[in-house]
Structure 1
Amino acid sequence: MLVLLALAIGAIALLAAMKAGAVWFTIVPLGILFGGASFGRSFGWFDKKAGN
């Protein structure tokens, strides 16, 4: 999840450098966080393995 957070923060910095509209500062980071989390969850990356 920290990787997704870092990507979202990087996207905010990139959007600020491009002087993007305000709506993009909401859509893009949330899309990265929610999309990445659902993608990672579907592949089982956040599941704790037994015995660990």
Structure 2
Amino acid sequence: MSKVRVALVMLVLFAVALGAIALLAAVHAAPLWFTILPIAILAGGAVVARSTGLLNKK
């Protein structure tokens, strides 16, 4: 895995998770969602990136 590629993918996933937190705050969601959704975005995104070969060295 390329360290730069991994860092960029995780940075994008982190930005999406922050956006989800902002959206949850805007709709006054329950506090449980502030924990579950960002973790699911980071973990799910990493799994998808790994399975599609996005993190493989070329």
TM-score, normalised with respect to structure 1: 0.88
1:6-33 deviation per Cα after TM superposition (whole angstroms, max 9, x unaligned): 0000000000011100100011101100
Q: Which has the larger radius of gyration?
A: 1
> How well do the aligned residues superpose, as a CA RMSD in angstroms?
0.6
- Give percent identity, aligned residues only: 61
Unaligned runs of 5+ in 2: 1-9
Question: How many matched pairs?
Answer: 49
Structure 1 stretches of at least 4 aligned residues deviating more than 4 Å after TM superposition: none
**Given the two structures, how large is their TM-score scaled by the length of structure 2?**
0.80
Q: Does 1:15 align with 2:10?
A: no
In structure 1, list runs of 5 or more residues that go unmatched.
none
What CA distance in whole angstroms lies between the structure 1 residues aligned with 2:48 and 2:33? 21
Higher relative contact order (CA 8 A, sep 6+): 2
